[in-house]
Structures are given as C-alpha cells and as structure tokens.
Amino acid sequence: MRRQSCPKRSNFDDRVRELGFDFHSPGGVQYWHDEAYYSFSIKQIEDDVEAPSEEIAALCLEFAGKAVSSEEILLDLAIPEHAWDHIRDSWKRGEPTLYGRFDFAYDGKGPAKMLEYNADTPTSLYEAAVFQWVWLEDQIAAKVLPEGADQYNSIHEKLIARFQGLGRNRLLHLSAIMDSIEDKGTVAYLADCAQQAGHTTELLGMEDVGLRGDGVFVDLEDRPISWMFKLYPWEWLWNDNFGKSPAMRKVNWLEPPWKAVLSNKAMLPHLWQMAPKHPNLLPAYFEHDPKKAELGARFAKKPIYSREGANILLVDGEDVVGRTGGEYGHEGYIRQALVQLPDFDGRRPVIGSWIVGDKACGMGIREDASLITSDLARFVPHAIIG
C-alpha cells in the first residue's frame, strides 16, 4: 500500500461536468483529490480488505439476530422501546438490506481494524462506485497507470443487481435531507441504480413525507409510500413526530429497521465479546463497564450515536490526541482501543469497505490530516497494481 502522486487529469473538469460530480472549494478544501492515489497489491485487497469485510459482515448479522430478541441488548443500543417490535418483526421477516460501509484502519501490513460500521446511512457512495472507476480508466488511457491496473470496485453493478433482486417494477421513494447536497446526490445516484434495475423512483424530502388521515404515508402527490429508501438514521426517524405512527409498519424500508442495531457504536463492545481477539476487531467496552480499564490509557471514546466523526475523544497516555465537538453523546459512550491511522506524508487514510447485500464489493478511501476522519476528509482514489 502506497500513496502515489499523479498528475491531475487534463479532462478532469469535463468529467466533473458530464458525471455530475460537481463540487465547490472556495476555501481550498477540495473533496475529490485527483492528484494522488493509493496503490495496493491484489493480495492486500483480497486478504486484508475483502475477506475480513465479509467475515465481519457475517458476524454483524449474527449479532443482529441476537440483538433483536434481547431487551438487554436493545437497551444497550439505546433504541427506543416503541421501536423494538418493528425491529424484531423486520428481522424475522428477513427484510432485505441494500448496503453498508465498514471503516477500517489499514496500513498495508497488519490486519485491517474495523473502526465502525455505517450500516444505516452511508454516503461517499457515488464517488467510490462511479467517479473513482472513471478515474481509473482515464489514468490508464493517459498512461499514468499501467494497462493492467485494476480497482476493487463492483459497487455499481452490485447495487443494480441488488435492486433487481428486490422485486420487479416497483415504485421506490427515496428520501433524504435534500438541503444537504451530498445526501441528495446519494439518493439521486441510488435512484439511478434502481431505475436501471427496472423500478420507478421518486425523490422526496424527509419533511415532505405526508401522513394521510387514513394512516398511510404519502408523497407530495398523495401517492402511498410502500417502499422507501431513507438516507436518514433510524434513531432520528423514531424520534420524529411520525416515528411512532402505525404507518411506519406499512412501509418496506431501506435500510430495514433491524439495521439500526448495527449502525450503532454500542454494537462494537458486543462484537468484541462475541469474537474476542478477532484480528480485525478492536477491543471495545461500554464506558460504564469496569473492563474498560483493560484498554489502559490509549483509547477512543465514541458516542453510541455519532456521524461524520462528531463528539469523539482520542486519548493516548496523558495526551488527548484528538477531539471533535458536535451534538451527539446523550445516549452514552463506548471506549475502543486506540488505533493510530497510518501516516502517509501527513495524510491519514481510512478505508471505506462497501457491502451490498451481503457481499463485499468495493472500496473508497478518505484521508484527513487529523486522526479523526470527519466530513472534511478528502476522497482519494485507489488502484490495484500487481
């Protein structure tokens, strides 16, 4: 694994425009980085990223099965009681999942360590699935990369295939906080994949979802919503006014309610308990668990619910090596062994490993100058060379 500099593509601006990957960086903070890439060997990808991703995904499913039928675990996860039945039923019915993203710390040598699982509302999808692939082709054509260069990336095909497996010609509503361009872009991309799988799609702001007097969620044209992708965390939805409505049970959700038990950092201590010493897991304990002392003075303290790297505290001995603010943490914290992200010329990459259905199928790398990967991180493409 190396970080290589490379020339910016001469057709970069055209690519941005034709692929709709438009971004803005007046502060000089560019999200997509076109002048570097990470290079991996095929062995690193297959043995250190792909295989552990599938293994841990399977472990997560095992945990989900345990969690949905354990009130104790659901309490640990800080999931509101009014949602328990819905979660349990969605698991028992085997409601399908679309996708998820593991974040790994990996330096090319030791085993990748899973930092967390964004199982409910992962983003950075389009750039990993599409824009990154186009970068590879462009750089091979420009002879910046060798002809045999490859990429760990079948995300796009897997998403379409997954949607094909979820019925035929259905109406899929996709909802998000549309004021967030990234979120809107993510649902627009997923709508695209669903359309290519033969479904009809409708984008909808979360706040535009209507609850009709007869107890059905409807879109702005009063069409009933029966199948909905939501780029909106379950714990928020359950907290919203409509979150307790019986109408919640009349929708097939993507992600399904049972995913809430995985997209939750309280899962991490449970996974560690289920598979102690697993090479790809980091020791983790609840903040209230005396066993947390086993981590000594090197740990990361993370809120049970947190997104985009908010409210995280990194402690290394007597030093606080990282701290972020935010609005999360009311539900409690967990403590995870501290893993230093590898340092590539001052950049700290985190591997985003994509799961579609139950298959690991691709990777996107975000790097940050800080030890905590935030929403300010930059996306850097990767290539498999040799």
Residues 275-314 that bind other proteins (CB under 8 A): 307-308
Q: Which of 60, 63, 86, 122 binds other proteins (CB under 8 A)?
A: 122
Q: Which of 106, 133, 253, 272 binds other proteins (CB under 8 A)?
A: 133
Structure tokens at 300: 């990361």
Residues numbered 354-373 forming contacts with other proteins, rule: CB under 8 A: none
Which of these, 187, 190, 166, 164, lies nearest to 177 by C-alpha position?
A: 187
In this chain, which stretch among 75-83, 118-126, 311-319, 364-372 interacts with other proteins, using CB under 8 A? 118-126
Asked whether position 39 contacts other proteins by CB under 8 A, the answer is: no
* Distance, CA of 223 to CA of 148 (rounded, Å): 50
Helix (H, G, I), strand (E, B) or coil at 333: strand
Asked whether position 52 contacts other proteins by CB under 8 A, the answer is: no
Compare residues 97 and 121 and give the one whose CB is closer to other proteins: 121
CB of 155 to other proteins, least distance (A): 10
Asked whether position 232 contacts other proteins by CB under 8 A, the answer is: yes
β pairing state of 36-40 and 382-384: parallel
Length of the chain: 386
Q: Which of 94, 148, 276, 290 binds other proteins (CB under 8 A)?
A: 148
Structure tokens at 86: 């819905």
Cα 279 to chain centroid distance, Å, stands at 21
Compare residues 35 and 71 and give the one whose CB is closer to other proteins: 35
* Distance, CA of 70 to CA of 262 (rounded, Å): 14
* Distance, CA of 53 to CA of 70 (rounded, Å): 25
Under 8 Å between Cβ of 264 and 306: no
Q: Which of 4, 70, 164, 245 binds other proteins (CB under 8 A)?
A: 245
Asked whether position 208 contacts other proteins by CB under 8 A, the answer is: yes
Compare residues 178 and 274 and give the one whose CB is closer to other proteins: 178
